[in-house]
Copies of this chain bind each other. A is one copy, B any other.
């Protein structure tokens, strides 16, 4: 979605509505989950439902758009961390960052596991961006003999996103601690 073939310019009001929708969706996803009624989002954005459907015909289009920036930034951070740290340290820090992202944007982890066919497209996007980043970090650390080499990036990604889901009575600290435990298990 970032580089569309035809860079059609958006009318000013259309762009404003788009932003309002994204902001509203982020809030509502965090508050009521990604299955929240469309009306809740459009009301908060001060926009008609029709406008939502015009911009995001599929529910997953909206979810994807909401988290796109964060996901891209997280993926890109892999390279920088590799340049600055030992492989094992880079890996740990990147997973911390990922956990941070998933635990903060609560709706995201949930959306990945909702099972709702409406979100079939989302995991694809997430994976296409994060999997190569994590793969490179894992390979480097494994080559360094710092961690075992039998864990695939895809499954680690899924595991971290599972462990980042909110749990009754529990805060982000719980998620962070459990992910750290998992990462400890990676070490030879």
Contacts and interface: CB of A to CB of B under 8 A. Distances in A.
A11 interface: no
Given A158-B174, A178-B182, 4 more contacts: A155-B174, A155-B177, A162-B165, A183-B185
Interface of A: 33, 113, 115, 123, 151, 155, 158-159, 162-163, 165-168, 170, 174, 177-178, 180-186
Contacts of A184: 184-185
Q: Which 6 A-B pairs have the closest CB atoms?
A: A184-B185, A185-B185, A181-B185, A159-B178, A162-B162, A158-B167
B170 A158 contact: yes
B165 A163 contact: no
Contacts of A123: 168
A186 B181 contact: yes
Contacts of A165: 113, 162
A186 B183 CA distance: 10
Contacts of A167: 113, 158, 162
8 contacts: A151-B177, A155-B174, A155-B177, A158-B174, A162-B162, A162-B165, A182-B185, A185-B186
A142 to B, nearest CB: 14
Nearest to A170: B158
A181 B178 contact: no
Nearest to A181: B185
